[in-house]
Amino acid sequence: MVTNSYRAAYDRSLADPDGFWLEAAERVSWSQAPHQAVDSTRAPLYGWYPDGVLNTAFNALDRHVLAGRGDQDALIYDSAVMGSQRRYSYAELTDLVARFAGVLRARGVGKGDRVVIYMPMIPEAAIAMLAAARLGAVHSVVFGGFAPKELAARIKDASPVAVVTASGGIEPSRRVEYLPAVAEALALAGAEGTPVLVKERDGFDARRTDFAGWLDWDDEMARAEPAAPVGVAATDPLYILYTSGTTGSPKGVVRDNGGHAVALSWTMENIYGVGPGDVMWTASDVGWVVGHSYIVYGPLIAGATTVLYEGKPVGTPDAGAFWRVIGDHKVDVLFTAPTALRAIRKADPDAALLPGYDTSSLKTLFVAGERLDTDTYYWAAEALGVPVVDHWWQTETGWAICANPRGLDALPIKPGSPTVPMPGFNLSIVDAGGEVVEAGVEGNIVLGLPLPPGTLTTLWGDDDRYVSSYLLAFEGCYTTGDSGYRDEAGYVFVMGRTDDVINVAGHRLSTGSMEQVIGQHPAVAECAVIGVADPLKGQRASGYVVLKAGVDVPEDALARELIALVRRDIGAVADFKHVAVVEALPKTRSGKILRKTMRQIADGDDYVVPSTIEDADVLDRLIGTLRPAAAGGAG
Ligand code: COA
Ligand code: AMP
C-alpha cells in the first residue's frame, strides 16, 4: 500500500483542493496573493487563483537575484554539436531576459500578444520564452523538426506580433536551415509583415540580411532598454503549445501563469526533489512540453540550475554523451525519454563508456514521453545504480499525472508502472460506458474535473474544441486518450493511446495528419497510417495506400514520393519511412478503417475481428503485408 505522506497529500488535494493549492501557492511570489484557489464560474472550464497577480519570469529569475543568489548558475548551455559550454548566472540571465523583453516591446509586443519562437536548443530560445513572459505576452514555441507548413499552421492560429528564430539547428547528419523555412511559413500564413528577430549562428547558408526587414538579435540587444516584469492575472495565458490531435489541425494547448507557477514549484520539490542550487538536466527540446516545464520554467522557478543540452544521446559524438554531461555539470537529476536510453543501450549494450565519467552526483533518473519498457528500466537501473522513475504525463497536463514523488516518502518502484496519481488528479479507469472497472482490468484513463493547477485551461481560441475533444466522452471527466489499469495496490499501468496519436522516439505525432498529406497524392485513392512497434523508437509510422483505379506506378517510386511528401509537409520529425500498396483497406460497415486491428496484426498481438467488419477477406489478404511473417488467423 502507498505510504502516508503521499497518501495524506493526495487525499487532501481531493478533499480540500482550495486549502491544498492555496498552501502550495505560498511557494510563488505574487504581486497580489490569491485568496481563492479553484474558480468554477465557467465550469467545465475551470481556472485557478482568479484574484492572484504575478509575473512568471520574475518568479523564475528576479526573485532569486533579490534573494541574494544572483551569482548562482541559472542555466548551463552544453552543446555537444558545437563542442562548447557556457554558464549563465541568475543575475546575467535576468539581465538578458529583461533586455530581450525590451527588444520585443520595441517591436510592439505587449501583454496578451503572441510571440512565435522557432529555435534550436540554444540559450536564446529560453531567453525569448522568458522575455515574452516578462511582458505578459504569450509565447508559442514550435519544434525545429517541423516543416514550414506546420509552422505556418501555428502562425496562422496564434497570429503573433513577432517571430523569434535563429539561423538553424544542427543535426548529426546535416544543418537545418531555419530562415527559408520561416519565410515560407510566413508567406503561407499570409503574415509576411511580422517582425522577425534572428539569432545568427555560423555555418548556415541563409543570412538575416537575405530577408528584407528581418532584425538581428545581437544588434537589437545592444541597444535595448531593459523591460520590467509586467504583472498579469494568474488566469492570463503564459503560453500556447501546439500538440498533435487525431485530426490534421494541431491543438493549441493553453497554459495559464498562476496555476503553472504553483504546480511546477510543487513538483520540483515533491516529485523531483530538486531545490535551490541543485542541478537538473532535462534532455528534451524546448519545443516539447517537457522542455517548457523542466528545461525552462520548473528548475528556474525552483532556483535550481538547468542544463540546456544541444545534442543527441548517441552520435554526438558517442553513447557516452549523457554520462559526460552528468559528470561535467554535476547533474543531480536527469530527465529523458526511454527511447534515448534505448539508443544508448543499442550503441553500448554494456554501458562500457559509463565508467569513463564521474556520474556520482546523479541521484535520480526520471523518464517520460512513452512507456518505460521493463528491459530498458532494468538496464538503466543497473548501469547507473540510482532509482529510475517512470512518470506519465501529456502536453495537456503540463506535469506528471502519475509519478513516484521522490520529495515525499518515495514509494517502492514497480517496473512498468509510473506509480500513482499526483495531487489533484482524480484518476479512474472506466469502460466504454463510463463505469469504473475492477483492479487489473484495462480501460480508459480519465481524470475527474477540475484538473489541478498547471494543466490546460482551454485550446487557443476554441473552447468548444476543448470541450468536445476532452470533456464530452465521460461526464465530469477529462479523457486522457490513454488506456491502462490499476493493480490491487493502486499502482497505475499506462498501456497506450486509444486514439490515432502515436509516439515516435518520444515525439507525439498524428497519423491523421500524415494520412491527410498522403491523400493529396494524385495516385492515392485512400490510405491508412498506423503506429507499429519499433524496438528503438517505441513506434514508427507505417502507411498503407490503395491506388486509384487505372493508376499504374512502381511501388518503390510511389513510396519515395509519399515519404518525401510527408517530410516536406510535416517534417523530418515524422520519421515516415515505410509505405506499402494494398488492394483495399479493412473497414467497418459504416466505413471506418480498422486501424487498431491493423496495428494489432502488425505488432503480432492478439486481435479480434470486429463483428461490424464489412468484408473479412480484405483483412485476411492484408495480413501478409502487415506482418510478413504472420501465419494468419485471428488470435
Ligand atoms: N530539427 C530538425 N530535424 C530534426 C530535429 C530538429 N530539432 N529533431 C529531429 N530531427 C530529424 C532528424 O535529423 C531525423 O532526420 P533524418 O530522417 O534526416 O535522419 C528525423 O528528424 C528523425 O529524428 P529522430 O526521431 O530524432 O531519430 P534519430 O534516429 O535521429 O534519433 C533518437 C533517435 C532516439 C536518438 C532521438 O530520437 C532522441 O534523442 N529521442 C529523444 C527525444 C526526446 O527527448 N523527446 C522528448 C520527450 S521527453
Ligand atoms: P506528449 O503530449 O507529447 O507529452 O505525449 C503524451 C502521450 O505520451 C501520453 O498521452 C502517453 O500516450 C505517452 N506517454 C507519455 N509519458 C508516458 C509514460 N511515462 N508512460 C506511458 N505513456 C506515456
Helix axis angle, 616-626 to 595-602, nearest 10°: 40
Q: 388 pairs with which residues across the strands?
A: 365
What atom of ligand 2 comes closest to residue 396's alpha carbon? 2
Q: What is the mean pLDDT of residues 471-488?
A: 97
Q: Supply the residue whose CA is at minimum distance from atom 17 of ligand 1.
A: 572
Give the residues surrounding ligand 2 with Cβ less than 6 Å away: 243, 289, 368-371, 390-395, 418, 481-482, 494, 497, 503, 508
Provide the b/e sequence for 405-425 (b: ≥16 CB within 10 Å).
bbbbebbebbebbbbbbbbbb
Q: Where in the chain is the domain with CATH 3.30.300.30?
A: 505-631
Fold of the CATH domain 4-311+391-484: Rossmann fold (3.40.50)
Query: All 3 cell numbers of residue 220?
Result: 537589437
The answer to whether the beta carbons of residues 127 and 75 sit under 8 Å apart is: no
Q: How confident is the model at residue 631 (pLDDT cuts 50, 70, 90)?
A: very low
Tell me the ligand closest to 574's alpha carbon: 1
CA distance 326 to 558: 45
Q: In this model, does residue 245 exceed pLDDT 90?
A: no
Q: Which residues does 48 contact at the CB level (< 8 Å), separation at least 6?
A: 21, 37, 38, 39, 234, 235, 256, 258, 259, 262, 453
pLDDT at 335 over 90: yes
Alpha helix locations (H) across 28-114?
56-60, 62-64, 90-106
The H or E element containing residue 5 is helix 4-15
- Under DSSP, the state recorded for 293 is I
Atom number of ligand 2 nearest to Cα 496: 12
pLDDT at 628: 66
| Predicted pLDDT at 4 | 61
Residue nearest to atom 4 of ligand 1 (CA): 145
Probe residue for ligand 2, chosen from 141, 244, 494, 504 as the CB with the greatest number of ligand atoms within 8 Å: 494
Distance in Å, CA 492 to ligand 2 centroid: 13
Residue 3: predicted pLDDT: 56
151 pLDDT higher than 60: yes
Substitution candidate for ligand 1 out of 79, 182, 573 with most atoms within 8 A of CB = 573
**Residue 395 C-beta-side C-alpha neighbours within 13 Å:** 26
pLDDT of residue 1: 46
Q: What is the DSSP letter of 474?
A: S
Which pLDDT band, with edges at 50, 70 and 90, does 627 fall under?
confident
Peptide bond into 276 cis (omega under 30): no
Helix (H, G, I), strand (E, B) or coil at 38: strand
- What is the rounded average pLDDT of the residues 567-585? 95
Measured by CA distance, the residue closest to atom 4 of ligand 2 is 394
Element (H, E) at 544: strand 538-547
CA distances in angstroms from 270 to 303, 309, 392, 407, listed in the order given: 15, 24, 15, 4
Among 424, 394, 392, 388, which residue's Cα sits nearest to residue 406?
388
Strand partners, 560: none
Grid cell locating 377 = 528500466
Pocket of ligand 1 (CB under 6 A): 144-145, 169, 171, 173, 176, 283-285, 288, 290, 312-314, 337, 339-340, 343, 368-369, 505-507, 572-573, 575
Burial class (CB in 10 A: 0-12, 13-18, 19+), 223: exposed
Residue nearest to atom 15 of ligand 2 (CA): 369
Query: Separation of 573 CA from ligand 1 center, angstroms?
Result: 6
- Give me the pLDDT at residue 250, please: 86
Q: In residues, how long is the chain? A: 635
Q: d(Cα 103, Cα 124) in Å, to the nearest integer?
A: 13
DSSP string for 106-138: HTT--TT-EEEEE--SSHHHHHHHHHHHHTT-E
pLDDT at 635 over 60: no
Helices and strands (H and E) in the chain: how many: 20, 32
Counting ligand 2 atoms within 8 A of each CB, the residue from 339, 366, 370, 498 with the most, and so the one to mutate, is: 370
By the 10 Å C-beta count (0-12 exposed, 13-18 middle, 19+ buried), 120 is classed as: buried
343 band by pLDDT with thresholds 50, 70 and 90: very high
Predicted confidence band at 253 (pLDDT cuts at 50, 70, 90)?
A: very high
The CATH homologous superfamily of the domain defined by 505-631: ANL, C-terminal domain (3.30.300.30)
Q: How far is the CA of 504 from the centre of ligand 1 (A)?
A: 9
Residue 314 Cα: closest atom of ligand 1: 35
Q: Would you state the torsion angle of the CA atoms of residues 463, 467, 469, 470, taken in this order, to the nearest 10 degrees?
A: 130
> How confident is the model over 383-414, as pLDDT tens digits?
999 999 999 999 999 999 999 999 998 899 99
CA 65 to centroid of chain Cα atoms: 29
What is the pLDDT confidence band of residue 2, given thresholds at 50, 70 and 90? Answer: low
Asked whether 50 and 43 are in contact (CB, 8 A), the reply is no
In 316-356 the beta strands, taken as DSSP E runs, fall at: 333-336
Q: How far is CA 315 from CA 168, 464, 477, 592, in A?
A: 19, 45, 44, 42
Which atom of ligand 1 lies nearest, measured to the CA of 537?
34
- Main-chain dihedrals φ then ψ at residue 262, nearest 5 degrees: -65, -50
Buried b (16+ CB within 10 A) or exposed e, 11-32: eebeeebeebbbebbebbbbee
Q: CATH 3.40.50.12780 residue ranges in the chain?
A: 4-311+391-484
Give the whole-angstrom CA distance, residue 347 versus residue 345: 5
pLDDT at 477: 98
Distance 300 CA to ligand 1 centre (A): 26
Pick the atom of ligand 2 nearest to 501's CA.
12
- If phi over 0 gives left and psi between -120 and 50 gives alpha, with beta otherwise, what is residue 136? left
Residues facing 477 on adjacent strands: 448
Residue 63: strand, helix, or coil: helix
Closest residue by Cα to residue 182 from 197, 201, 204:
197
Q: What is the pLDDT of residue 634?
A: 37
pTM confidence score: 0.95
Tens digit of each residue's pLDDT (9 = 90 or more) over 407-423: 998 899 999 999 999 99
Other CB atoms within 10 A of residue 464 CB: 9
Looking from the CA of residue 289, the nearest atom of ligand 2 is 4
Going from the Cα of 48 to the center of ligand 2, the distance in angstroms, rounded, reads: 24
What does the DSSP assignment read for 439-468?
TT--EEEEEESSPPTTS--EETT-HHHHII
**Residue 575: Cβ within 10 Å count:** 21
Q: What is the amino acid identity at position 57?
A: A
| Helix 90-106 with 123-134: angle, nearest 10 deg | 60
Of the candidates 215, 22, 182, 3, the residue with the CA atom closest to the CA atom of residue 103: 215
622 residue type, one letter: L
Lowest mean pLDDT, pick from 53-67, 188-202, 596-610: 596-610
Residue (of 463, 462, 500) closest to 481 by Cα position: 500
Tens digits of per-residue pLDDT, 265-318?
999 999 999 999 999 999 999 999 999 999 999 999 999 999 999 999 999 999
pLDDT for the residue numbered 249? 81
Confirm if 139 and 132 have CB atoms less than 8 A apart: yes
Could you tell me the distance, in angstroms and rounded to a whole number, from the CA of residue 190 to the centre of ligand 2? Answer: 34
